[in-house]
Structure 1
Amino acid sequence: MQASTIRFIDANIFLSRWDDAAARDYLETLDPEKDYTSVTVLGEVYHVLTRKGVDDVFRLIRRLMAMTTVLEVTQDDLFNAVKNPIDIEINDKISIAVMRRNGIDTILSYDKGFDQDKTIKRIGL
């Protein structure tokens, strides 16, 4: 991965920090000038971690917000996500719409469903 590449970080990367050394190491190097995510992704992370009973999820989300650029989701993003014909979950389609609107073509994710969209490039760790 090129050091200058702007990346959109998917929820599964944030959630893998407890199980995956590569994710944990990567998350320690987050840079808000290169690492982007969305309010929807952080909402997913919050939901999953709360259900798992992780302590102080609010503090963790605040830390992630400080270490990344958090992009807003617009009505147009939702509209474009709903129109996207690929067979993936709606939150993933919203991520693609947010990426397109912000000129980001690389997503860091373990979810191979993103490979269906040929306008973006998915990379894992």
Structure 2
Amino acid sequence: MYEWDGEQVVDGERGPEAFEWNQRFLTRGTWASGMNARAPIRAEEWAQAVAAQPDFEMMTRIEATLPSGARWITCPPVACWSGHTSGRPIPFFHDRDVIEVRDADEPTIRRMVALASTLAAKVVDDDDQPA
């Protein structure tokens, strides 16, 4: 990773903690076996499911964690859950055939489980363990 230290570009390394996200996935398959190869959650299906949820909205700006810290950035439209107790919108990313949520805390996982039933899906972690 390269960063600007204010005077020059410096080469640095990020520790493993920079990549430890408490990720959860809405899926119909298993993560290890290629996610939803046989029953993908398609983009149009996801868009319809989100449109039917009163506590979701499509956003073109999200809060991202960058090497310089948390910052709001512009992005392609992404479905965000606006009902989190923190008041922060939580992005639910459509990733090819699954829905991915990073930093999924307990309220977010509960919302994912409720949403999974509308998609005939389930919520799993990186190791295919149920939420």
What TM-score, normalized to structure 1? 0.31
The structure whose Rg is larger is 2
What TM-score, normalized to structure 2? 0.30
More helix by share: 1
More strand by share: 2
